[in-house]
Amino acid sequence: MEIRNLGASGLRISAIAYGNWLTHGSQVEEDAALACVRQALEEGITTFDTADVYANTAAETVLGKALAGERREGLEIFTKVFWPTGPGKHNDHGLSRKHIMESIDGSLRRLGTDYVDLYQAHRFDHETPLEETMLAFADVVRAGKALYIGVSEWRAEEIRAAAELARELRVPLVSNQPQYSMLWRVIESEVVPTSKELGIGQVVWSPIAQGVLTGKYLPGQPPPAGSRATDDKGGADMVARWLQDDVLERVQQLRPIAESVDLSLAQLAVAWVLQNGNVSAAIIGASRPEQVTENVKAAGVKLDAETMAAIDRVLDGVVTTDPAKTVSPRRSEMFG
């Protein structure tokens, strides 16, 4: 397993992180989820990412069970706060001081740990002053409940404003967690340059584009039985945008490129995001242990310029690059 620094910080993490967004507590049974975590540990993954909102807190509980008994100092556990949990009342979401302080305690209880290595703002909160949010995060760090802080799906100008406050408060803002893949490159023009300047690293999610970059979805054919596109608990909604014949045809054209570097399509997709020097880790999910084993083989792979250019040629015209696609919802509009 390749080990990288998280941004410019001293925190070292596995280049492949294990995430349980669409699996633990929802799409797969607990025994299967536990088996996937055990396999991740066996493969050298030390970094585990979750959030309080995943399966309405159940994902944190499952991850806590899966990691129980492991040497805590040998793990990096990440979680997040913003989206509604519990009954979803007016203070059950957002980045107010109240919600942050209550949420960190709930997350620690469910995860079975005294602290998380990284506590992340899961979206930007338009209704709460950024100063209030950052001070609350600073107090979480000073209380020893989190070692570092990060954000997720924030725009470049939002990251810059948070970084300025973090410097004033003397707390380590070290990461952003955006969607990033061969097909979704909205961070490249603004977020990545800003983050490089500020010493912030990317911990990217969906490097395989919800499974589309595995090549298992074929143009003109129904999705395979049991695939994410057939899941009615949220998975199908997330993958639907990629299930267009022009995209699926291009993905199939990537197959000879993957074969030329002795990788599967999924491994090529994960390796591709790791070529970006601002990416500290790629988050993978799994519903079966063998998926973990396959995807970790992307760690440490170096793709040459010719291979990267060939990928760009194949995908030209179906890649999303507009930085305006990074959007944080207004709580008043979504939750009342």
Q: From 230, 213, 201, 234, select the one nearest 59 (Cα to Cα).
A: 234
Q: Can you tell me the distance from the alpha carbon of 177 to that of 199, in angstroms, rounded to the nearest whole number?
A: 14
Angle between helices 130-142 and 156-169 (to 10 degrees): 50
Residues with Cβ within 8 Å of residue 290, at least 6 apart in sequence: 39
CB 281 within 8 A of CB 255: no
Helix, strand, or coil (residue 116): strand
Gyration radius from the chain CA atoms: 19
One-letter amino acid at 130 equals: L
Question: What CA–CA distances, in Å, run from 285 to 28, 40, 254, 263, 270?
Answer: 11, 10, 22, 18, 12
One-letter amino acid at 4 equals: R
Give CA 252 to chain center in angstroms. 25
Q: Can you tell me the distance from the alpha carbon of 15 to that of 261, in angstroms, rounded to the nearest whole number?
A: 20
Matching residue, tokens 């000073």: 142
Residues with catalytic annotation?
A: 54
